[in-house]
Structure 1
Amino acid sequence: MSHLLDFVYIYLCVFLVIFIGLTLLRLYSFMDPLQLMAKGDYAQAIEKMKKAMNTSAYKRNPKLKNPMVYNIANCHNRAGDLHRSLAVLDEIKLEDIKDNKLLYCYHCLYAINLLLLEQELENAGEMLDKARELYNNNELQPLLALRESCRGDFQAALEYVRNYQPPQGKKKKTVLSLKETTLIYDAFILEVENNYFIGLAYLKAGEQELAAPYLHKAAAWKIKNYYSAKAREALGEKES
């Protein structure tokens, strides 16, 4: 009887070690690419994300696959390949998305690409309306301002800018989600994208002086990205 108990104990220990190892490997498979994306190494992040998606765990589980596809689209967006970002987003089946945070991010990113390309503005507006139905939060105000400025309604755009209150303190840090594999609170959105959207909205309204402080904030981000480059371009600065 004691030998049987020893065998069972050893079997359980081996099983536990394997289970923990596989779990850590799976966590690494999506945490590592997200870290690379946060550091601005978009090409390598995309490569690792695609590699992870080729594993059986991702292929058979939309809850893992769809967030990773979104993150790939996000990498293309931050690298400045807006058309490719849209194409990748089109690979996501919306009926498979059960997480409202991911659905919100999907609608926002799709709208961002269209607005920056100045294409399908009506579609972009509908995307943002769907995002607002999910989370009508303060962080969405700069993007709504950009939408109105693209439409030519500068009064509405500036109203959104005035209503925006930049988050303070802890909200500025990057938080990685182990559960959904998406960036829940991304400092890049708050420090770069939102400042660029406000600066661009002011520029479209012909308010260069008001645009400048926001463009400078977006341009100050140390990691190479599309938004900071466009902000520096708008300020007349040369890329170093």
Structure 2
Amino acid sequence: MMAVPPYGLGFPSDTAQSACYPGKVSIPRKEVELMPLVLDSQAIFPENTRITKTSDAHFVVLQASVERGSQPLPAPASQPEQQVTIERDDHAEELSKICENLEEAKKYAANEEQRLLLSQYIESFTTGSLETYRESQRTWPKDRNSSVENSFGFVEPYRDPYRVRAEFQGVVAIQDPAETRVLNKLVDEADTFIRRLPWAGGKGNDGKGAFEKALFEPPSLTSTHALTGVRRRFKGVCGLGDRSLRVQRNFAWI
């Protein structure tokens, strides 16, 4: 009762703890490092998982999803005596509420890309499939110049000492039309700025220099202000402020 609790974040030990590896049986780092091999062999992404041990010989992979179920996984090749099980339904109650609200949000989607994005979020959070989540991130850039932006998912790996398991973040932002016009003006003048770069000049490549593409592909820029956001904040990592940056497939959300 008088023991000093582990105050630091890190691999479970007498001085550190991590919500990514819960349970009373401590998991040393060398055992944590075995789990990616097991998950990779089954094409399971680690971001929405946590690892716990019920005994010295039994690992349980907790996968975040609304759906419930469990199945055995192959043991690590270096420790064939170990048992590994995946259990789906971690954070099921919270994800169920999130999916209900995302389903309601689909009624107000402005176009098919937005509806598809929300549907992919729902499927991913329901089944635990991060492949579906990756598909949603391919859908997102197709909806250009949206007046309402959002980002949901297990995307913040800062607390995991192994830097692969992520915490959930949800953000809704609205476009600032005036600032977006300024950014678009910057894009329109991009060719002018490119020709002023230190390596620009010469007769070739239309004066852009040897390091630039012959055809400039302008990004679509949108300035947004966060309307609301959900994530845990802690010392050492910047919390979500008034704006955030998200860049993917030649698209920037600033």
Task: Say which structure is richer in strand.
Answer: 2
TM-score (norm 1): 0.26
- Greater relative contact order (CA < 8 Å, ≥ 6 in sequence): 1
TM-score (norm 2): 0.25
